[in-house]
A and B are shown apart, each in its own frame.
Chain A
């Protein structure tokens, strides 16, 4: 199959057996690859009701057909599993060079099954696949492990690793790769920790077959040229996602003090410009990206190197915790990377704990004497360590804010900013209803990556509650995650304005298969409905209630800043949901109808 390595690597950790099987062309036809392949595998291979931390859960590491090819940003790997944090669908995407190397080794995907009796790492060197003892790595930080494996095996190996947080089964442990890229959300790292798979090391030497080399080269060159000539290229390259910090603050969308507000009064010291001037040492790209957003930094104050902080980290561990010093944010970022914690969930959990402390819901008796307040970096660093180790109050926070609020009872639920059990990411949305709807309906929980609709709210009017906002969210939920299916980054389109019209032709030149953009949108819609069906199957009573936004968004208006006083009423968020379900062809409870499933050729899978 042109565009694919043509093989899936299956790892049975219980029996210590590794096998390869052909990549099924019928799965490729229906689901294309990447997140699509992963969703299909999750649904059909992981039994209903599987314990996310048990042997029946699987972790699917999936490249897409574009991965590893000369297409801008062809470096995205999807990692899918049943989430230990939410109990539903988890899919996190990591950049860097992993998917490229995996395809060069001859594998489009890895399916990790079972549980190892003792810590191992997966060694892949083209056709040589081994499960090697990782007892010398267990307990060590992700970054330390990567450095150690590259020293042991060679710089040519691409490494993905989990840290102590995953080993300790913190619900939102991440997977780290290339010294600072993460598959962050939903506990994808936690599942590897439960399976005692400490790391993956891969090196490959093979070529990816291309159907029409000359056409591919011509189309590829045009894509690179368009990126490099974009008006937005210079600023994007200089600041990366950190450039969003000031903008988000100006529009009142920067989460501050546990989402009490969308405006941080000390935001100036966290801006992309301040970050570039004070700590950035180099620009760091993902595979084949001509406009690198990665910023590799060194903080002299704390004496560490870190990739970042990205926008989300500065939002959730910076403004949301009221930390105003970019060097402190960088250090918090480093702690999370080394310990292997998702910075978004961690920042959200830390802020929740601080607000609970300030409001007397927890006290220093609960925190072992640690006084928590917004802006107290030292206490926050300590708390991050306690979460990773599940020590003291860290134990309560290690399962996420939804669980913590249930344990604490009373008013705590009003302070938990989450959807489906996943902590909300970096856009305070009480003045952006389309963005709020995005968070309500995202298929992994309160994450922005599927539909970043906030610019649409700004374009058509922030207060509007209207069908076109639901339509925009649906459109974005098909376009953005398509990139996770293709195995390439979407930011060249989002940030540089690279036309979407490039993608169907270049995919055709690569694979030799004729697919229009509409065909690709159909595949994306199919995957969306499949992952929705997964939640329905796994979660008793799943439906509309699970798409509810956090209480803070309808019970409390924004406290300060340019959007002070805003909120989206319960009636309005439900109206948006009604319009969304109707346009999606789902029933009033948000369940895909049999007609919709048949239209998307999912009936044989979902029933």
Chain B
């Protein structure tokens, strides 16, 4: 399973990122979200959505073995085991492992699906 995105439908509202941060951290902060929204303006006038493909390269590269899979099969970083070396951030082919100054450990999508529920343009789905 992974979170899919049809970028062509995205209108750049960032509700997905808000829902994500509320789930991951209980906080309202799109800078703490595990999916990326990249605007391309003024031309061609589109948004690119980047999501985790669950490729597992982060888990492979982690020197502390701090990256596991949860009950949904999503890779996640155990922040207590993490040494903040950022190898996972660098290796991620989609650049969807994120960091924020408030937290030592990086974070990534855990396939909760809250973003799907608030996407009015039906960009996102889990399959």
Please give the residue numbers on chain A whose beta carbons come within 8 Å of chain B beta carbons, in ascending order: 68-70, 72, 97, 100, 104, 143, 147, 155, 179, 204-208, 210, 213, 217, 220-221, 224-225, 227-228, 233, 237, 281-292, 294, 296, 298, 305
A282 to B12, CA, bound (A): 10
Number of interface residues of B (CB under 8 A): 34
CB distance from A559 to the nearest CB of B (A): 39
How far apart sit A208 and B21, CA to CA, in the bound complex (Å)? 11
Given A285-B13, A287-B13, A296-B18 contact (CB < 8 Å):
no
Contact flag A179-B18 (CB < 8 Å), given A205-B100, A213-B26:
no
Q: Tell me whether A292 and B19 are in contact (CB under 8 A).
A: no
B72 contacts partner chain A, Cβ-Cβ < 8 Å:
no
- Does B46 contact A305, Cβ atoms closer than 8 Å? no
B28 CB–A CB distance under 8 Å: yes
Report the separation of the CA atoms of residues A291 and B15 in the bound assembly, to the nearest whole angstrom: 11
A199 to chain B, nearest CB (A): 16
Which stretch from B76-84, B87-95, B112-120 is at the chain A interface? B112-120
**Also in contact, A290 and B22, with CB within 8 A (given A179-B42, A305-B45):** no
Ordered by A's residue number, 8 sampled pairs between the chains whose C-beta atoms are within 8 Å are A100-B14, A205-B29, A207-B27, A207-B28, A207-B32, A208-B28, A208-B29, A281-B45
Beta-carbon contact of A284 and B118 below 8 Å = no
Do the beta carbons of B28 and A143 come within 8 Å of each other? no
Partner of B120 from the list A68, A97, A155, A291 (CB cut-off 8 Å) is A291
Q: Is the CB of A155 within 8 A of B38?
A: yes
Contacts of B14 in A (CB 8 A): 97, 100, 287-288
Question: Is the Cβ of A205 less than 8 Å from the Cβ of B18?
Answer: no
Q: Which A residues are CB-close (under 8 A) to B120?
A: 224, 227-228, 233, 237, 285, 289-292
Q: Which of B22, B29, B44 contacts A217 (CB 8 A)?
A: B22
Taken together as a complex, chains A and B put the C-alpha atoms of A292 and B32 apart, in Å, by 23
Residues on A with C-beta less than 8 A from B119 are: 290
For B3-43 the 0/1 string (1 means CB < 8 A from A) is: 00000000111110011011001111111100000110111
Task: Name 17 extra pairs, CB < 8 A, besides A204-B31, A282-B46, A285-B13.
Answer: A70-B118, A97-B14, A104-B29, A179-B41, A205-B31, A206-B29, A207-B27, A207-B102, A213-B22, A213-B27, A221-B117, A282-B11, A285-B121, A287-B13, A290-B120, A294-B11, A305-B42
